[in-house]
Amino acid sequence: MKEKVLGESLIIAGRVFSSRLIIGTGKYRSYDEMRAAHTASGAEMVTVAVRRVPLDRSSESFLDHLDPALQILPNTAGCYSSEDAVRTARLAREALQTDLVKLEVIGDQTTLFPDNEQTLDAARILVKEGFVVLPYFNDDLIMAKKLLDVGCAGIMPLAAPIGSGLGIQNPANLRIMREQLPDATIIVDAGVGTASDAAIAMELGADGVLMNTAIAEAEDPGKMGAAMKLAIQAGRLAYQAGRMPKRLYASASSPLQGVIK
Amino acid sequence: MRVYLNGEAREFSSPVTLAQLITELDLPPARIAVELNREVVRRNDWDATELRDDDRIEIVHFVGGGRS
């Protein structure tokens, strides 16, 4: 479809995506701005939240504002218990007829850090019910292994608090996760603030990056969407290329012989 | 009969099905999902599902959001 030249695709439970960028649909100033950012980013999958319908007014369907070609990834954002996350996932599946779910069980309102224990609990239940589960969790290798063991299709470690834009705060942990879980689909979720952050996540070996605020709260979300697309591609290529080793001292690029005296 | 719809109490004087409730609320059936007493009710079953006193109904849709 697009960028075939950049090689392999992101595959999640048999679904093939040529873009390694997954983006959110929240915080945009207008639907037009959201759509422009989605298009510019080249993302093929967007995540949406599940909420009670307002009963006091007729509401248009948010889904109608999305490009119908996009794969919708419902999330369980806002859930604080395994039980609520499972209920939310089931409702999303019923409405969207998709078994994909981005599982989120939050443990604390200030940090929005995940409750790993509740997340694992919910993942276990949802996998048994046939969901393709992509859990958001702390950047912990042992937790990653447990989530994969219960059958999650991929894992979504955070890089910094949700919406913080702090950038990749845990490069060592992400690298360890990549090295120790070479076959896992790892999608860095949360913390990216600008294009270089996305490139770093990819250079560390992530299979993809999920972001929302970095694009939605940019002054020009369309431009930032385009920047993220390039950053993801650049980071992926650099990872595949294999970077040079770092050294403390200089190493001349030109031959030492033949310099005029 | 009193039911709780998205947490709010609603009174009905005559029997009502889920399908009738959704029509009355003017909701787009293809864009919502319904839970009755914490269990999802499939769209095909809305017609046959009659509400009972004290039922807890949740009707959800999708909104913009990345995460939490």
pLDDT, block means (10 residues), chain B with 68 residues: 93 92 89 94 94 95 77
Identify the segments of chain A with pLDDT beneath 50. Answer: 1-6
- CB of A123 within 8 A of CB of A135? yes
3-state class (DSSP) for residue B67:
coil
CATH classification of the domain holding A164:
3.20.20.70
Q: What is the pLDDT of residue A20?
A: 97
Tell me how far apart the alpha carbons of residues A129 and A14 are, in angstroms, rounded to a whole number: 18
Does the beta-carbon distance from A53 to B61 stay under 8 Å? yes
Residues of A in contact with B67 (CB under 8 A): 24, 47, 49, 75, 77, 102, 104, 112, 136, 162, 189-190, 212
Helix ranges (DSSP H) in A138-220: 141-149, 171-180, 195-203, 213-216
Give the number of other CB atoms < 10 A from CB of residue A163. Answer: 22
CA nearest neighbour of A153 among A88, A102, A189: A102
Catalytic residue among A2, A27, A102, A128: A102
pTM for this model (two decimals) = 0.91
Note whether ipTM > 0.90 here: yes
Tell me how far apart the alpha carbons of residues A234 and A245 are, in angstroms, rounded to a whole number: 18
Indicate the number of domains in chain A: 1
Range of the domain at A105: 4-51+63-241
Q: Which CATH number fits domain B2-60: 1.20.1090.10, 3.10.20.30, 3.90.420.10, 3.30.70.260?
A: 3.10.20.30
Concerning whether A128 is annotated as a catalytic residue, the answer is: no
Residues of B in contact with A49 (CB under 8 A): 62-65, 67
Does the beta-carbon distance from A102 to B67 stay under 8 Å? yes
Does the beta-carbon distance from B6 to A53 stay under 8 Å? yes
Is residue A254 one of the residues assigned to a domain?
no
Q: What is the pLDDT of residue A5?
A: 43
pLDDT digits (tens, 9 = 90+) for A160-218: 999 999 999 999 999 999 999 999 999 999 999 999 999 999 999 999 999 999 999 99
Is residue A38 one of the residues assigned to a domain?
yes
Is residue A85 one of the residues assigned to a domain?
yes
Q: What is the pLDDT of residue A255?
A: 86
Q: What is the pLDDT of residue A241?
A: 95
Q: What is the pLDDT of residue A8?
A: 78
